[in-house]
Amino acid sequence: MRCLIFFLACLCPAAEYQIQRAASTIKIDARLDEPAWAAAPPTSDFIFNWFTAGEKETTEAKLLWDDDNLYVSWRCQDRHISAYVTERHGPVSKDDCVEVFISPDPRKVTNYYTWEINPIGAMLNRCRTDWWKGPPTWEPEQLSYRTTFHGLAKKDEDTNDREWIVELAIPFKNFMRDAVNTPPRPGDEWRLNLMRTGGKTNAQQSTWSPIAGEKRSFHTPENFGKVVFVAQQRGAGGRGARSRPALNPQQVEKGHTQYNRSCTVCHGVDGAAGDRAPALAAQRRYLRTSGADLFDSIKNGIKGTLMPATPMADEDVWNIVAYIQSLRATAADITVPGDLGNGRAVFTGKGGCTQCHMIRGRGGLVGPDLSDIGAQRKLEDIRAALMVPKPVPPRGYQPVSARTKAGAQIRGIVKNENNFSLQVLGLDDKLHLLTRDQLASITYEPLSLMPTNFDKMLTANEMQDLLAFLSKQARQRESK
């Protein structure tokens, strides 16, 4: 058995991602608020290859390209942000640090280039290729990048620490010696890995593409993930990358205003169905889901239907796209701040949720399985489930307490009943089959068994962490 597990661990396939061509210009300011970033899907989650203990803080990484640059962004969830190295090519990986290692030629992955950047903007670069004869470090040309704490003399840990961002533009001409095409052509494949490391407290190492084998090193190009350059910003593209719009509230707000001005003639108010056009946000299967497809149908109209083209500026169309996506977004589609490790601890510990709920096969049976709750419900609905009592218990969750003539006390929810008998799923997770003539008394309780006082029982931070954890509970889906 051990053998088998070891064997499987070594077979973990390289991660894959499609790099979309940016549909709007990008300003390097560590904000990531352009429509192009909003429409780009994040890579699959980072892997903690050598994890032993501590918090697994998440990293949301994205890539884009245009004729001149490869763009890389990292949004790092981090409760303890620290950085002290300021010198060029200093040992930045001792600080909190993000890295990208890039092989432009998939036939020769051992030729690769590295970027390591800390939160205050100190950077280390190397050119690890068979032709480089210079010093151990390397100077890329015309690079631009920004970090959240760019230029500070140092960054100490702070109780308000939540996240930091790095935004990087690398001109393609830096890769001319190795790349097959400069700039790349749609369909070109490169190999690369994205990493995170360092920091004083909770120094974890995580990578986008998993690193197989015993060697604890990022310098293993054979483990780099595969990236393919694609011609257009098309949403859900990449295998392993679900389209998750990172929604920007101001943009959504602007889009809402523009939508109400131009679209409600046919579509309903707030995205509901209108007299002459379908609902843009209801619980149904949408024909168009990716940011690029929505953009295209609004900008150019839909041929052969009433849906007209619009003369609006691209920026405005992207705002409306963000608004439509916000109407459709479930909790898993948005970045909910919070500490996932602590959220899990609240779920299994103080919150007592596992007493009634299951996630991936562990926990109680009385409440619904929550393994996919982030993909099924909006964040507001999950929050409401935890603090707003429902007027009546939802279908299938009618609580009951019964006493048998023999003196047994049973409390649970009614799974099935008729005039003669009932099946009760007890709080003990056992199914009790009771005939009416066995019962001394039975009470149908007016309120759901789901407690709704968690806003009082948990601290604000615990509540936030729990919501972050629940929003991440989404089963892997086939991309559309």
Residues within the interface to ligand HEC (CB under 6 A): 259, 262-263, 265-267, 276-278, 280, 286-288, 294, 297-298, 302, 305-308, 310, 320, 324, 347, 351-353, 355-357, 366-368, 373, 377, 382, 385-386, 390, 394, 397, 448-451, 454, 466, 470
Q: Which residue, 218 or 397, has its beta carbon nearer to ligand HEC?
A: 397
Mutual orientation of helices 291-300 and 314-328 as an angle, nearest 10°?
A: 130
Relative to beta strand 399-404, strand 409-417 is antiparallel
Task: State the Cα–Cα distance between residues 222 and 470, nearest whole angstrom.
Answer: 35
Q: Which residue, 227 or 327, has its beta carbon nearer to ligand HEC?
A: 327
**146 with 28: CB under 8 angstroms?**
yes
Relative to beta strand 123-128, strand 431-435 is unpaired
CB of 320 vs ligand HEC, minimal distance in Å: 5
Go through the chain and tell me how many residues it has: 480
CB of 295 vs ligand HEC, minimal distance in Å: 9
Cα three-residue angle 425-430-435, rounded to 5 degrees: 60
Cα three-residue angle 315-317-323, rounded to 5 degrees: 105
CB of 321 vs ligand HEC, minimal distance in Å: 8
**CA distances (Å), 142 to each of 67, 118, 174, in order?**
15, 19, 9
Q: Coil, strand, or helix at residue 468?
A: helix
Task: State the Cα–Cα distance between residues 477 and 456, nearest whole angstrom.
Answer: 35
CB of 13 vs ligand HEC, minimal distance in Å: 33
Q: Which residue, 22 or 414, has its beta carbon nearer to ligand HEC?
A: 414
Task: State the Cα–Cα distance between residues 40 and 191, nearest whole angstrom.
Answer: 19
Task: State the Cα–Cα distance between residues 144 and 74, nearest whole angstrom.
Answer: 15
Q: Which two tokens stand for residue 213?
A: 């084998």
Q: Which residue, 53 or 306, has its beta carbon nearer to ligand HEC?
A: 306
Tokens 């483990």 belong to residue? 223
How many helices and strands in the chain, by DSSP H and E? 10, 18
**35 with 23: CB under 8 angstroms?**
yes
Q: Which residue, 166 or 321, has its beta carbon nearer to ligand HEC?
A: 321
Q: Within a 10 A sphere around the Cβ of 115, how many other Cβ atoms?
A: 21
CB of 60 vs ligand HEC, minimal distance in Å: 23
Q: Please give the radius of gyration of the chain, using alpha carbons only, rounded to the nearest integer.
A: 26
* Bridge partners, residue 411, by sequence: 401
CB of 260 vs ligand HEC, minimal distance in Å: 9
Q: Which residue, 195 or 466, has its beta carbon nearer to ligand HEC?
A: 466
Q: Which residue, 76 or 236, has its beta carbon nearer to ligand HEC?
A: 236
Q: Which residues contact 141 (CB under 8 A, 6 or more apart)?
A: 171, 173, 174
Task: State the Cα–Cα distance between residues 117 and 198, nearest whole angstrom.
Answer: 11
Q: Which residue, 204 or 448, has its beta carbon nearer to ligand HEC?
A: 448
Q: Which residue, 73 or 297, has its beta carbon nearer to ligand HEC?
A: 297
CB of 447 vs ligand HEC, minimal distance in Å: 8
Q: Which two tokens stand for residue 398?
A: 């009618």
CB of 356 vs ligand HEC, minimal distance in Å: 3
Q: Which residue, 132 or 286, has its beta carbon nearer to ligand HEC?
A: 286
Q: Which residue, 128 or 288, has its beta carbon nearer to ligand HEC?
A: 288
Burial bucket for residue 144 (CB in 10 Å: 0-12, 13-18, 19+): middle
Closest by Cα among 119, 131, 126 to 219: 126
Q: Which residue, 43 or 376, has its beta carbon nearer to ligand HEC?
A: 376
Task: State the Cα–Cα distance between residues 106 and 185, nearest whole angstrom.
Answer: 14
Q: Which two tokens stand for residue 409?
A: 């006390």
**400 with 412: CB under 8 angstroms?**
yes
